[in-house]
Amino acid sequence: MARMYSRNKGKAGSKKPVKKAAPLWLRYKPKEIELLIVKLAKEGNSPSQIGIVLRDSYGVPDARVVLKKRISEVLTEKKLLTEVPEDLTAMIKKVVVIRKHLESNRHDETARRGLILSESKIKRLVKYYKRSGRLASEWKYDITKAGLLTE
C-alpha cells in the first residue's frame, strides 16, 4: 500500500519468526519476565524500550510469546501504563521540536508542511484512541500544553 502523503511504497523490513512457541534456550520463567517488566517500567521506560532492553540485555527475544500477553497489558494490570500512549507522545514531541524550529526559521516551508502532516497524524491518533477507549473522551490535544506533556 502506498504512503499517505507521497507516492512511495512501503519499504521491506525484517519479519519476526512465524513460530509462536517460547525458545527452549530461554532461562527466564514468565513470572521473572513480568517482574523485569515492572522493574523497567518503574525506571521510566516505555513499553517499546522495555522490549528492547529485554531483548538486548536479558536475551528474551519476544516477551509476548512467553507471557501470552503484550508488555502494555502487563503494565495495565500493574497500573504502570501512562495515560497518553507512547506513539502519541512521540508525535507530540516531534511537533514541539518543529514549532521551536519554525520560531527561528519562519520561512522554512518544508518544516511547515511537516508540522501540518504531524498535527493531522496526531488528530487521527487521538480519534482512534478515544474510539478504542485508550484515551478519555474529554482528552484534548492542545499545542500550548503539549510542551508540558512531553517533559
What is the mean pLDDT of the segment spanning 24-41? 94
Per-residue pLDDT band for 13 (boundaries 50, 70, 90) equals confident
The model's pLDDT over 65-114, given as tens digits with 9 standing for 90+, comes to: 999 999 999 999 999 988 899 999 999 999 999 999 999 999 999 999 99
Mean pLDDT across the chain: 90
CA gap 81, 75 in Å, rounded = 5
